[in-house]
Structure 1
Amino acid sequence: MVSPFTLVPEQGIEIRRGRMTAVATPAWLSISPVTLFTTRTWVRIRYRSSFFDDPVRPLLRFTTRSGEVLHDAMTGAFAGGGEWIGRVPPGTMAVSVSPVTRTGQFDFTLESVEPVSPLHLFWRGLFQAWKWTAGSVIARLLNARREARQALRFAGTATPLSDYHRWMQTRSRDFDPAGLDAPRFDWTTGPTTRLLLSLNAAEDQDVRALLTSLQRQAYARWVLYLVRPNDGAMPAFVTELVENEPRCRTVTDIADIVPDIAAGDWLSILPHHARFPDHALACLMEHAARNPDARLIYGDEDAVDASGRLHAPILKPDWSPLFEQTVGYLGDAVFLKAPEAGADGLLSTLWPNPRVESRHIAMTLPPGAVSHLRRPLLRRLSPVDALAAHPAVQSPEPPADPSSWPRVLIVVPTRDRCSLLRRCVQGLRERTDYPDFHCVIVDNDSREPDALALLKSLQADARFTVLHRPGPFNFSALSNDGARSLPSDVIVFLNNDVEMLSADWLRALVKPALRPQTGIVGALLEFPNRKIQHAGVVLGLGGDAGHIYHSEPVATRGYLGQLTGEREVSAVTAACVAIERKKFEAVGGFDEVNLPVELNDIDLCLRLSERGFVHVLTPHARLIHHESASRGFKTNGYTVYARERAYFDARWAQVIRDDPYFHPALSLYFLRPALG
């Protein structure tokens, strides 16, 4: 049953000429009546936003009677609509939503708030994520209630990528030019989108379908150029199309297009089998108007089969140069802004290999000039499963080794568990071919005789120093003390429960850390059973931050080929990371006051990101991680570390809601990419 409600500006939002406008961030709307939530335990919220707003994840805020403030990020309205399923915190007194992360006009509305049965999630989870369902039951039996609720969300709220068509049916809506999607600038005088299609491979039905999709566009300023061979006769169907549609033209030389091009027009070379969703060009032009510095815009893609079934979504990250070099993920939905002069050079560069040349152009553009439009801009006609959900992996030239390797200080906090530390030390001695490193073992009150004996024996090795730091376990303080103990150019933080697999692991970790723009470099970590423990951190995953691909087989290529080479990530785990000392010290190291145990590595990454540094996950450094073996595993982590999680949430809620390298259409409650 749909319930009535209102959205009232609460903070940073004004109503101007009848439209909501964010005048400051964070921008909040209060939802009333609050009884829509307080009379239910689990709810489903359906909402809509304009196609012309960035589909950032809306952020919910629950305020309870005790004064506790809890945030929860929803899925971005990728296809115009979105859905969130979650539990209303007990004692909720007020509920607010933050729909945007930037100032300016926006359009957002709630459609419904409905009760959801936990039993429904339980049964759904049995079929798609039975381990999480079982985990929910076990946590409930152990009276770990929050952990049980969290496991239930992981079990029953995500949708597999293979069910994209069904997911789109419940999230997509019609284009609404008189309402949510009213134009925000004068479309009759806007730039023209100039599209090129080679007739060499295109069939009659392909060209007709493309032209039909263009004729349905809400934004009408486009021209389609059909490029035919010099020695080829004009196909009869082309003559027919050109006669009936003045915006469809033929050329034999791309230079013939140049006189048509005005500065500010947008150019794209299309693959055969291309189609455009009805709102695609309107979204493109509104995005260009909202991002005037953009010179290359790329969008997401999907496919449709002959029966009209959608499949194979390609949901791309925001601009990621390293990942582009490895995979070439920009794909075909790429549009370049015509310059004031030199359009002929731009076209001749792109033709006839636009994928490769678009990458080269993107690599030369300044920051902010490459912009990701996080909506489906291009659709291919393709049988189900014929189009892989990731591009082909490239083979980029590996960067050269530095002329001289910098001195590295390896910091290893430890307490007892001699077998773990011995294996780690053995790996440093026998499976590390790095030419210049020193290791400081930061001992936190080891008491076991064999551990004390091992620490004493290390004093005879000039490459090792033991630093004694007794007291309550504080990973941040132990790591900071270790980093300060000796000089070095690069610091590597290494857990004592890590085991080396190959001797070049440290070189692979340090090399990308030396790039000026790189913040922290993380390794790909495996469990002893050859499953992935860490392959990068996604902000907001599980509420705060989590390890994507956790427990997947180590041979996994990853969605879009993410695990086939270095890629940008928002954060990495400190179990094995490298960072230049000057960058680490510039932000004050780990936060030992507010985050002594949990989330300190994510916090460090985010503080570095504030300064413009980009973090890297490299699969070329692979190690085994016996996770949390030295301090134990806690089933009630939410309770034990509640203070740290509350601080982290208050500090970073507006940041972790929208990881730039994890598409907002993807679920934050599944450990491999799935639809939210």
Structure 2
Amino acid sequence: MQIIVLGMHRSGTSVVARLLNMMGAYFAPERVELPVTTANPKGYWERRDVINLNEDILTALGITWDNIHQFKSADMTDEIQTRFESLAREIILGLDANRPWMLKDPRLCLLLPFWQPLFEIPICVYVHRSPLQVAQSLKKREDFPLMLGIALWEKYNLQGLANSANMPRILVSHDEIMKNPIATVNKLYQDLLDCEIQGLRLPSEKEIQAFIDPNLFHEQGNVQLQSTYINSQQALLFDAFEKGNIFQLEPLPNLSQGASEILQAYKEKLEEMISSQKNLEELKQSLQTQAKEFQQSLQTQKAENAKYQAQAASYRNRATTLEQEIGDLGNKRQALQTQLTSTKNTLSEKEQSLSTQKQNTQKLMYWIGGLDQDIKAIFDSLTWRSGHFMTQIALKLMFKKAGQTAQDHVQDIFAEIAAWNLSDQSGEIQQVSPTEQIKKPSRLSKVIQPRNYQSWIKNYDTLTQKTVKQMQQLIKEWEAPPFISIVMPTYNTDEKWLRAAIDSVLQQIYPNWELCIADDASTKGHVRRILAEYAERDKRIKLKFRTENGHISAASNTALEIVNGEFVAFLDHDDMLTQHALFWVAKDILDYPDTMLWYSDEDKINEKGIRSNPYFKSDWNPDLFLSHNLITHFAVYRKTLIEDIGGFREGYEGAQDYDLVLRAIEQISNAQIRHIPRVLYHWREIAGSTASRPDEKPYAIIAAKKAISEHLERRNIKARVTESPDIRGTIRVQYALPVNLPLVSLIIPTRNSLKFLKRCVESILNKTDYDNFEILIINNNSDDPATLDYMQQLEKNDKARIIDYPNPFCYADMNNQAVEQAQGEIIGLINNDIEVINREWLSEMVSHAVRPEIGAVGAKLWYPNNTLQHGGVVLGIGGVAGHAHKGFPRGHVGYFGRAALIQNFSAVTAACMVMRKANFLAVGGLEAEHLGTALNDVDLCLKLNEHNLRIVWTPYAELYHHESASRGYEDTPEKKARYEKERAYMKSRWPQFLMADPAYSPNLTLDAEDFAYAWPPRVASIA
């Protein structure tokens, strides 16, 4: 009898083959057996000639042992059998002289149809092992991805089982051999005897224990990984192996779609690599040929160099002559330039004089017109006919108030002319419009301070002497004040702005700093002069002058070379720091010593020194940061972090600071990034600056997209990076969906409300481009016949499942029960008054929900009148929570784009919320006891935050929300009382979040949802 050992590679076939050899089964003569390797220190127990023959057959079939996507048993044609059969018969003949014998090679799972006609009475010993353990072993030995290893396991076993179906078979578990070697070997021996195999002996327990070493059993699987990587069909096969009924599994399934796709992708990758290798060989040959040609060309060039050198000497002489001529021409040009400047100045004076004369003429014509009218009025008036005195008496007798007469008006005009003459002599010019009317006296009115930014600055961001003294005293008390280096690259900076930037550093209340300036080979002479002047004035200013212009990244790196501080800050050459900027940075460094990166709020400052447009930022917001550069100004790093990432990278100009942060955050945790909620930086807003127009530098968005794409690649995140369609200069990151789309269970609670329910369901069915979803409708005591009939039709047509909830309305509990019954890996909580707008809504939300760091995903919800209903939830508004940008019209992007950019919020509404079912269950679902109706979605999000899972809001999932159609409004005493209890619970459960929402700013209001300024801000004072 012949013993044929079948099983997938790395399944334990070598162990079983050795045990059979110990029982007396012959397998190979000396020098034919495969030697021991580090990958298999106990030996393979295979024959070289068998392996070589099997490899030749696979090659003839156009495949390899691991590239078997298209292989099927029918490929074993008569031509293949005829071509290789003689070699196989020779091997069998040698084995037959030493019965009983065994044959082992995992390739036999595929090639058994070739060998089987050569056997007389074969017995199959089929070895199996966990697919995950096999995949882990292949990953270690071959560096195969786990999914590929599992797909190969499925293909080999399906082929092996099908090809051995007509043979007697004995099943052996690798896991049982390792756990219970003695019992397993005894059973194998007995099974072989039952198959009437003669000439075997049972190895002693000592022999078995000496051979089987559990320490070599490295890959022992993982339950969580197994559930993640193994599909349902593979799980079915593995279960049948484990239960021992695999040989009774009929019919055998076809290869699963997932495994087929993986093997196909692997095949294509191999073909691509082979093609690349071929191209490389061709390129190598081409390069060698070119090298020979270059060598010959080099010899020719050497011969010609002597001739060229002689010519060069002649050219140098000619160049000297030309330089002299150029110098003469330069002197002439300078004289002409001086003459041109003088002419321009003269022309400017003439133009100014002409302008003055025109304005004077304009004024005179205006006054002459007025006089002409008044003269006519004088001759026609009672004043002219009766005299001014008589007119005054007449008016008093008529009980009329005397107004301004023509005579008065004439006197006023003469007074204006006299004043004009005086002003003209002093050189002042005032333009007067020909249509200007005599101004009426202003009325007294109650003065109400406007709530604009200038008033906010006056009230809350203006330093007093008392505050400065408090800061100075606190600095004296610090035992180890941090040393901060400010990096500032310069290039042809306007003198006014350069002085303002440096002065803003010199005026710092905090003194322990240095200013490291690298000038990028400015061509304007005043830059070097001013820098040298300041460096001479204050030794804390250090300079480095570059000889070549390398742009901002290279210049910044040059400045970094002279940094001595433990902390590094960055200042643009035309911007300004606030006087207390470094004080607050130093204080935060001391208060939070584990922090690696700081950033602050900022505003803009125009050419007149007027501040505007403050950006009051959130705390660290990873998804908002990928939408636009949240950090920008004022950024401070630990020097070691800058050194670790190698400073700035050239080639990212326009987004070099964005790229720097992207690489920095890869080295640190989110907890090591701190936001200082104070305006510490004034961004200069002048013509041509990015502050004035974000799209002023179009190359910046190109560099930003490149930097973000590379950041995601370094983190092994597949995503598409494009410019945001709504805001120029900002980013949209579209995360890739899994190859196998996870099932999404959309849960819709309802009581009657056919109009809302039907619109909701039909819009989902007709306007959703994501295919793999189910709809679960929670029926809460509906008694409307039409609604019940509609739900029945949905269920009958397999468009929805109906879950009855016969209890009183409790939004939290009914959703919790539905989630338990949901079949999807992803769940979506959907109100019945939701209506889909854009087809990609679910694809977009699922692409975020499958990200491991994301807890829940919210959508952009609109009222039917196209004003915003939900742009994320801000905690603390109205005491508990409110919807960001509520009521903003379509087309309005909100505060610094926050109504149109992907970002993190502390919470989103469950009117349309998508998340992984496992996360929902992990935090206990919705709070039904205390928050049965309202605010349970906010509570759920905060529980996810506690588990270090972020909440994402995306504007690219748009739906209408006919709000509160499901449960109505709080419009009865009972509902109001219930709502107040729910609010009180939230305030006691989450006081720290409601007082300071990390996704919002303490400088923004809690009185409204429009991101207006807070009066006063909720920022701690220096005390």
Partner of 1:548: 884
SS in structure 2 of the partner of residue 339 of structure 1: helix
Q: Report if aligned partners of 1:475, 1:597 keep a CA contact under 8 Å in 2.
A: yes
SS in structure 1 of the partner of residue 734 of structure 2: coil
Q: Which amino acid aligns with 1:377?
A: L
Gaps of 5+ in 1: 1-156
Alpha carbons of 1:182 and 1:604: their partners in 2 closer, same or farther (altered >3 Å)? farther
Alpha carbons of 1:646 and 1:276: their partners in 2 closer, same or farther (altered >3 Å)? same
Deviates more, 1:495-504 or 1:598-607: 495-504
Among residues 475, 491, 513, which one is paired with 1:222 in the alignment? 513
Among residues 495, 514, 534, which one is paired with 2:831 in the alignment? 495
Alpha carbons of 1:286 and 1:453: their partners in 2 closer, same or farther (altered >3 Å)? same
Q: Which amino acid aligns with 1:217?
A: Q
Superposition deviation, residue 208 in structure 1 = 1.2
Q: Report if aligned partners of 1:301, 1:314 keep a CA contact under 8 Å in 2.
A: yes
- 1:628 equivalenced with 2:964 (yes/no): yes
Alpha carbons of 1:528 and 1:257: their partners in 2 closer, same or farther (altered >3 Å)? closer
Alpha carbons of 1:404 and 1:388: their partners in 2 closer, same or farther (altered >3 Å)? farther
Superposition deviation, residue 396 in structure 1 = 4.5
Partner of 2:950: 614
Partner of 1:361: 663
- 1:598 equivalenced with 2:900 (yes/no): no
- 1:276 equivalenced with 2:276 (yes/no): no
Superposition deviation, residue 260 in structure 1 = 4.1
Q: Which amino acid aligns with 1:675?
A: Y
Q: Report if aligned partners of 1:226, 1:250 keep a CA contact under 8 Å in 2.
A: yes
State how far apart, in whole Å, the 1-side matches of 2:987 and 2:685 are.
43
Alpha carbons of 1:572 and 1:158: their partners in 2 closer, same or farther (altered >3 Å)? farther
Alpha carbons of 1:230 and 1:273: their partners in 2 closer, same or farther (altered >3 Å)? closer
Q: Report if aligned partners of 1:261, 1:343 keep a CA contact under 8 Å in 2.
A: no
Q: Report if aligned partners of 1:480, 1:590 keep a CA contact under 8 Å in 2.
A: yes
Partner of 1:164: 453
State how far apart, in whole Å, the 2-side matches of 1:673 and 1:545 are.
13
Alpha carbons of 1:496 and 1:158: their partners in 2 closer, same or farther (altered >3 Å)? farther
Partner of 2:811: 475
State how far apart, in whole Å, the 2-side matches of 1:535 and 1:341 are.
36
State how far apart, in whole Å, the 1-side matches of 2:966 and 2:614 are.
41
Residues 546-580 of structure 1: CA deviation (Å, up to 9, x unaligned): 10111111222121111333100010000011110
Superposition deviation, residue 388 in structure 1 = 6.4
Superposition deviation, residue 180 in structure 1 = 6.8
TM-score by length of 2: 0.48
Partner of 1:319: 620
Q: Report if aligned partners of 1:407, 1:436 keep a CA contact under 8 Å in 2.
A: yes
Partner of 1:465: 801
Partner of 1:370: 673
Alpha carbons of 1:578 and 1:309: their partners in 2 closer, same or farther (altered >3 Å)? same
Q: Which amino acid aligns with 1:566?
A: I
State how far apart, in whole Å, the 1-side matches of 2:642 and 2:575 are.
29
State how far apart, in whole Å, the 1-side matches of 2:909 and 2:652 are.
43
1:125-524 superposed matches below 5 A: 163-172=452-461, 173-174=463-464, 176=467, 178-179=469-470, 182-183=473-474, 190-230=481-521, 232=523, 235-253=528-546, 257=559, 260-262=562-564, 265-339=566-640, 342=643, 345-346=646-647, 353-364=655-666, 365-382=668-685, 387=691, 393-524=729-860
Residues 66-103 of structure 1: CA deviation (Å, up to 9, x unaligned): xxxxxxxxxxxxxxxxxxxxxxxxxxxxxxxxxxxxxx
Q: Report if aligned partners of 2:581, 2:680 keep a CA contact under 8 Å in 1.
A: yes
Superposition deviation, residue 382 in structure 1 = 3.2
Partner of 2:997: 659
Q: Report if aligned partners of 2:489, 2:559 keep a CA contact under 8 Å in 1.
A: no
Alpha carbons of 1:472 and 1:201: their partners in 2 closer, same or farther (altered >3 Å)? farther
SS in structure 2 of the partner of residue 502 of structure 1: coil
State how far apart, in whole Å, the 1-side matches of 2:476 and 2:728 are.
38
State how far apart, in whole Å, the 1-side matches of 2:566 and 2:748 are.
56
Structure having greater relative contact order (Cα 8 Å, sep ≥ 6):
1
Residues 374-419 of structure 1: CA deviation (Å, up to 9, x unaligned): 1111113437999469996323452222222111111100011111
Q: Which amino acid aligns with 1:342?
A: E
Residues 102-154 of structure 1: CA deviation (Å, up to 9, x unaligned): xxxxxxxxxxxxxxxxxxxxxxxxxxxxxxxxxxxxxxxxxxxxxxxxxxxxx
TM-score by length of 1: 0.72
Partner of 2:289: none
Larger radius of gyration: 2
State how far apart, in whole Å, the 2-side matches of 1:192 and 1:349 are.
28
Alpha carbons of 1:272 and 1:258: their partners in 2 closer, same or farther (altered >3 Å)? closer
Q: Report if aligned partners of 1:317, 1:662 keep a CA contact under 8 Å in 2.
A: yes
Q: Which amino acid aligns with 2:455?
A: R
SS in structure 1 of the partner of residue 874 of structure 2: strand
Superposition deviation, residue 312 in structure 1 = 1.0
State how far apart, in whole Å, the 1-side matches of 2:684 and 2:984 are.
48
State how far apart, in whole Å, the 1-side matches of 2:629 and 2:652 are.
17
Superposition deviation, residue 640 in structure 1 = 4.5
- 1:668 equivalenced with 2:1009 (yes/no): no
State how far apart, in whole Å, the 2-side matches of 1:231 and 1:670 are.
49
Q: How many residues align?
A: 517
State how far apart, in whole Å, the 1-side matches of 2:672 and 2:651 are.
18
Alpha carbons of 1:638 and 1:246: their partners in 2 closer, same or farther (altered >3 Å)? farther
Superposition deviation, residue 631 in structure 1 = 2.5
State how far apart, in whole Å, the 2-side matches of 1:654 and 1:344 are.
35
Q: Which amino acid aligns with 1:604?
A: L
Superposition deviation, residue 638 in structure 1 = 4.4
Q: Report if aligned partners of 1:334, 1:358 keep a CA contact under 8 Å in 2.
A: no
State how far apart, in whole Å, the 2-side matches of 1:556 and 1:515 are.
29
Q: Report if aligned partners of 1:302, 1:311 keep a CA contact under 8 Å in 2.
A: yes
Alpha carbons of 1:481 and 1:389: their partners in 2 closer, same or farther (altered >3 Å)? farther
Deviates more, 1:316-325 or 1:164-173: 164-173
State how far apart, in whole Å, the 2-side matches of 1:313 and 1:354 are.
23
SS in structure 2 of the partner of residue 368 of structure 1: helix
Q: Report if aligned partners of 2:482, 2:589 keep a CA contact under 8 Å in 1.
A: no
Alpha carbons of 1:500 and 1:375: their partners in 2 closer, same or farther (altered >3 Å)? same
Residues 431-484 of structure 1: CA deviation (Å, up to 9, x unaligned): 122222111110111112211211221221223111111232110011111111
Q: Report if aligned partners of 1:302, 1:310 keep a CA contact under 8 Å in 2.
A: yes
Alpha carbons of 1:181 and 1:484: their partners in 2 closer, same or farther (altered >3 Å)? farther
State how far apart, in whole Å, the 2-side matches of 1:341 and 1:560 are.
28
Residues 246-270 of structure 1: CA deviation (Å, up to 9, x unaligned): 22232124566556434x6222332
Deviates more, 1:457-466 or 1:405-414: 457-466
Partner of 2:870: 534
Q: Report if aligned partners of 1:420, 1:496 keep a CA contact under 8 Å in 2.
A: yes
Superposition deviation, residue 670 in structure 1 = 1.3
Alpha carbons of 1:159 and 1:528: their partners in 2 closer, same or farther (altered >3 Å)? farther
Q: Report if aligned partners of 1:329, 1:560 keep a CA contact under 8 Å in 2.
A: no
SS in structure 1 of the partner of residue 729 of structure 2: coil
Alpha carbons of 1:320 and 1:584: their partners in 2 closer, same or farther (altered >3 Å)? same
Q: Which amino acid aligns with 1:501?
A: I
Q: CA RMSD in A?
A: 2.8
Q: Which amino acid aligns with 2:657?
A: R
